[in-house]
Chains A and B, each alone.
Chain A
Amino acid sequence: MNFSVVTSQFWSLCLQGLALGLIYSLIALGYTMVYGVLRLINFANSEVFMIGTFTVLFMQVTILNNDVNTKPIVGVTLLVTMFASLFGAMIICALLAMLVELVAYRRLRILGASRLASLISAIGTSIFLSEGMRIITHSRPQTAPRLLEKSSLGNIWGANIRIDTVITIVASILIFVLLDQFVNRSRLGKAIRAVSMSEENSRLMGINLNKVITLTFAIGGLTTGAAAFFYTTVYENTIFNVGFNLGIAAFTAAVLGGIGNIRGAFYGGVFLGLLEQFASAVLGSQWKAVTVFVVLVLVLLIRPSGIFGEAVQQTRT
Chain B
Amino acid sequence: MINLRDKGAQVWENWNRPSRTIFILAFIALMALLPFAASWGPTSFLNTPITSFQDVLVYPVGMFILMALGLNIVVGKSGLLDLGFVAFFAIGAYTNAIMSTMLDWNTWEILPFGIVFAMISGVMLGLPALRLRGDYLAIITLGFGEIVRIVALNSESTGGPNGIAGIPNPPSIAGVKFDYEHPQNYFWLVMVLILLVVWMVRRFTVRRPGRAWEAIRQDEDVAALMGVHTLVYKLWAFVIGAAVGGAAGVIYASKAMVISPDMFKFDVSVMILACVVFGGIGNIWGVILGAGILAYLPDRFRFLTDARQLVFGAVLIIMMNLRPDGLLPRKKREKISEDGK
Contacts and interface: CB of A to CB of B under 8 A. Distances in A.
Contacts of A293: 140, 143-144, 146-147
Given A41-B135, A123-B270, A297-B143, A131 B277 contact: no
B305 to A, nearest CB: 10
A233 interface: no
A120 interface: yes
A289 B145 CA distance: 11
Interface stretch (B95-103, B126-134, B175-183, B198-206): B126-134
A132 interface: yes
A287 B146 CA distance: 11
A83 interface: no
A317 interface: yes
B306 interface: yes
Contact of A114 (B140, B273, B321, B338): B338
Interface in A225-241: none
B140 A116 contact: no
A103 B317 contact: yes
A301 B128 contact: yes
Interface stretch (A175-183, A189-197, A251-259): A251-259
A286 interface: yes
A108 B129 contact: no
A113 B277 CA distance: 12
B147 to A, nearest CB: 5
A206 B34 CA distance: 58
Contact of A124 (B135, B142, B266, B313): B313
B324 A117 contact: yes
A87 to B, nearest CB: 29
A120 to B, nearest CB: 5
Interface stretch (B9-17, B23-31, B148-156): B148-156
A290 B151 contact: yes
Interface in A206-234: none
Given A255-B139, A293-B144, A296-B140, A113 B324 contact: yes
A72 B320 CA distance: 48
A203 interface: no
A296 B143 contact: yes
A244 interface: yes
A287 B154 contact: yes
B2 interface: no
Given A293-B147, A304-B136, A127 B277 contact: no
Contacts of B274: 120, 123-124
Contacts of A255: 135-136, 139
Contacts of B307: 131, 135
A248 B146 contact: yes
A34 to B, nearest CB: 12
Contact of B138 (A41, A127, A129): A41
A121 interface: yes
Contact of A251 (B139, B151, B277): B139
Contact of B129 (A41, A289, A297, A317): A297
Interface string B303-315: 0001101101111
B306 to A, nearest CB: 5
A107 interface: yes
Contacts of B277: 116-117, 119-120
Nearest to B338: A114
Contact of B154 (A107, A127, A286, A316): A286
B316 interface: yes
Contacts of B153: 286
Nearest to B144: A293
Given A121-B316, A125-B313, A286-B153, A116 B321 contact: no
Interface residues of B, number: 52
Interface string A34-57: 010000010000000000000000
A10 interface: no
Nearest to A123: B270
Contacts of A129: 313
Contacts of B128: 297, 301
A289 B150 contact: yes
A244 B266 contact: yes
A107 B281 CA distance: 19
A135 B310 contact: yes
Nearest to A255: B139
B207 to A, nearest CB: 24
A304 B325 CA distance: 30
Contacts of A127: 309-310, 312-313, 316
A194 B281 CA distance: 32
Interface string A79-91: 0000000000000
A114 B325 contact: yes
Contacts of B134: 315-317
Contacts of B266: 244
Given A41-B135, A128-B310, A301-B128, A108 B324 contact: yes
A104 B321 CA distance: 8
A135 B309 CA distance: 10
A150 to B, nearest CB: 31
A317 B317 contact: no
B248 interface: no
Given A124-B314, A292-B143, A304-B136, 15 more contacts: A35-B135, A108-B324, A114-B324, A114-B339, A124-B274, A124-B315, A125-B317, A134-B309, A252-B143, A286-B150, A289-B143, A293-B146, A296-B140, A297-B140, A316-B219
22 contacts: A35-B135, A103-B317, A107-B321, A113-B320, A113-B324, A114-B281, A124-B315, A127-B316, A131-B312, A135-B310, A248-B146, A251-B139, A255-B139, A287-B150, A287-B154, A292-B143, A293-B147, A296-B143, A297-B128, A304-B136, A316-B219, A317-B133
Interface of A: 35, 41, 103-104, 107-108, 111-114, 116-121, 123-129, 131-132, 134-135, 244, 248, 251-252, 255, 259, 286-287, 289-290, 292-293, 296-297, 300-301, 304, 315-317
